[in-house]
Structure 1
Amino acid sequence: MIEVQGLHLRYGGVAALDGVNLALRAGEFVALLGASGSGKTTLLRSLAGLEFPDAGQVLIEGRDMAAVPARERGVGFVFQNYALFRHMTVFENIAFGLRIKPRRLRPGRAEIVRRVEELLALVRLPGMGGRHPDQLSGGQRQRVALARALAIEPRVLLLDEPFGALDAKVRKELRHWLRGLHDRLGLTSLFVTHDQDEALELADRVAVMRDGRVVQFDTPEALLAAPADAGVAGFLGDAVPIDCVVRDGQAWFEGLPPVAVAGVAEGKAVAFLRPVDLLVEPGAGEARVAAARQDGRGVRLTVETAGMLLEATPAPGWMPRRGEPCRVTALAARVFPA
């Protein structure tokens, strides 16, 4: 459905895109995940026709988009800051993309009214067409921006940090609603985010970007289980890097029992451990409970061992207390040569 081949784009002496290759299947919901400056928004804008690469191809349904203007690509784009026209009503904002179509493709007035009202119902804003953007909440404005992108019946939906300006509660509600909408409409969607929880929770596959390149493109489960390199391992899952030595098929740590590893050369290495990788049990040991608190997901536990503070998982049924001695077991680790 969408294929990017060898995409290069430089701003001055800086490579914003450095040989990007990426292929999306029809109907997929894909996230571009990376730190600021990794190239994810530049890639998205290149697909939309808002940026023009120095080399490489963007193919949509097999057609090279190099010479195709943005408005003829069949792509809907949702900006981070909504980009709504403040002087226009909600109705006129949504209808805008239909009204600027070439005359031969432009729907009639009655069809525009029908489609806008249908979209308002779809994004749960029925009856709000007469309002202006400044009369809406942030979540409502984001839904208007989405309806405007959907009005042209795009083949592809592109979203640039679509929830970045929203508070946590609205953000969570909207992102699940968007995923459901994607599934109902059968869209192919690509969204940019720097929020790993958002990407791993919503996307079918995630492309992790760094320095203008896609360093790994896989399912959330595969990214967490088998990161391509130490950079990906450290970026995902709240992982903490810990120095270790690999010997006899095990990674040996200071202050922690060893953990079995496979396919890692013997010698100095770095292990990435997540809270779910560390099981903490009560009892005499070198470790101490540094902090324990309840939140909506259970007990959040921090232990201190060998001068390190580590997020960990408490044993079932145990409510740890600050200062309590404990034992820490490493259940798994992603290990890379130092």
Structure 2
Amino acid sequence: MSVEVVGLTRRFGGTAPALDAVNLSVRTGEFVALLGPSGSGKTTLLRTLAGLDFPDAGEVRINGRSVAEVAARHRGIGFVFQHYALFRHLSVFDNVAFGLEVRPRAERPRRSEIAARVRRLLELVQIPELERRYPDQISGGQRQRVALARALATEPPLLLLDEPFGALDAQVRKDLRLWLRGLHEQLGITSLFVTHDQDEAMEIADRVAVMRAGRVVQFDEPGVLLDRPTDAFVAGFLGETNRLRCTVSGGLAHFGELPLPPVPAEGTDGPAVAFVRPCDLVAEPSPGGSAGCAVHAARHDGRTTHLLVRAGGVILDGVPAAGWTSPRRGEPCRLRVQAARVFPAHGDGG
């Protein structure tokens, strides 16, 4: 099921729009993340797709059909809320069966069919042994799986998830997002999920829509977002980066008093901001100490050794040059910039 959002605008009172002429096109079977800071419009967009909120302007098309006049329950959408919204007085089995049990009699499957479908779903989400328990008798991660099974019970071709792992601890989040990606590949349902967790979005989504102030500022595959951000906001928002003020002149970005060599930069001359990822800032020993930099500390992220380098009164995050195996605190060094993304200083985030 494809989703097309055209010029979607939503205002609440006299404030700035929660959605500001949003355009978004999601392909059938795609897994899309809506990523952005709080207040960027992610949940409002998701609720509008679900029919739980209504735009002031623009259109939502599902499978090419406008759903402006289609009630939420008739849109064929499964919705998973951040806080599960399970019925505490119903067992796991009855929570999952609920959407089927409340269908009009003519559309309701036979009781035996409902039972068989519920048990298949509990197998699918790997909690078949919990069907007789109640929500307050199971863990947060298990409740999230129940909520997902309930959303899938009506066999929706479109699944919407609003911060589905937001209430869980870090390790459970990591386990469940890997599991959810595998489930998506198994079922092939078009899915959109809201998150403010960059790692979550980049790890499991096919494409990520980065939102800010009610707009989609870039919609691309994770690798493209990191390698070719469209503006300073995206460059600074995604991943770890050194944000450095500079001046562009003659096709080069100059860093003023910072002891960094100039780097190539496109665009007009003038004040700018450069984003240099730690992997692109290489520190190498400088025995004479003339480079004006010194090792401040070393840290490990589990995969890479990072060097925190004091340079011109600021601390920069980089990596040691190949072969420099044991840099010491206070050891003189020089920095080399392998790549930078440079934007005008008046741009977003500048």
Fold match by TM threshold 0.5: yes
Query: For 1:149-195, what per-residue CA distance to the aligned partner results, in whole angstroms no more than 9, with x for missing partners?
Result: 11110111111111111111111111011011001101111011111
2:261 corresponds to which letter in structure 1? P
237-246 or 92-101: bigger deviation: 237-246
Q: Which residue does 1:264 correspond to in 2?
A: 267
What is the alpha-carbon distance in structure 1 between the residues aligned to residue 30 and residue 307 of structure 2?
A: 36
Look up the SS of the partner of 1:127 in the other structure.
helix
Q: Percent identity?
A: 65
Map 1:51-70 to 2 at 5 A. Answer: 51-70=53-72
Q: Which residue does 1:2 correspond to in 2?
A: 3
1:337 corresponds to which letter in structure 2? P
Q: Which residue does 1:277 correspond to in 2?
A: 280
2:246 corresponds to which letter in structure 1? C
Look up the SS of the partner of 1:257 in the other structure.
coil
Q: Which residue does 1:328 correspond to in 2?
A: 335
Map 1:245-264 to 2 at 5 A. Answer: 245-253=247-255, 254-261=258-265, 263-264=266-267
Quote how far apart the aligned CAs of 1:234 are.
1.2
Q: Which residue does 1:290 correspond to in 2?
A: 296
Q: Which residue does 1:123 correspond to in 2?
A: 125
Q: Does 1:304 align with 2:310?
A: yes
Q: Which runs of 5+ in 1 are unaligned?
A: none
1:255 corresponds to which letter in structure 2? P
Quote how far apart the aligned CAs of 1:319 are.
2.9
Quote how far apart the aligned CAs of 1:309 are.
1.0
Quote how far apart the aligned CAs of 1:291 are.
1.5
Query: Structure 1 segments of 4 or more deviating over 3 A?
Result: none
Look up the SS of the partner of 2:285 in the other structure.
strand
Map 1:1-338 to 2 at 5 A. Answer: 1-14=2-15, 15-253=17-255, 254-261=258-265, 263-283=266-286, 284=289, 285-317=291-323, 318-338=325-345
Query: For 1:32-71, what per-residue CA distance to the aligned partner results, in whole angstroms no more than 9, with x for missing partners?
Result: 0110000000000100111111111111111111111111
What is the alpha-carbon distance in structure 2 between the residues aligned to residue 52 and residue 102 of structure 1?
A: 26
What is the alpha-carbon distance in structure 1 between the residues aligned to residue 141 and residue 130 of structure 2?
A: 14
42-51 or 307-316: bigger deviation: 307-316
Normalized per residue, the structure richer in strand is 1
Quote how far apart the aligned CAs of 1:241 are.
1.9
Look up the SS of the partner of 2:152 in the other structure.
helix
1:6 corresponds to which letter in structure 2? G
Number of residue pairs matched by the alignment: 337
What is the alpha-carbon distance in structure 1 between the residues aligned to residue 88 and residue 168 of structure 2?
A: 19
Assess if the C-alpha contact under 8 Å between 2:8 and 2:19 holds in 1: yes
99-108 or 86-95: bigger deviation: 99-108
180-189 or 248-257: bigger deviation: 248-257
Q: Which runs of 5+ in 2 are unaligned?
A: 346-350
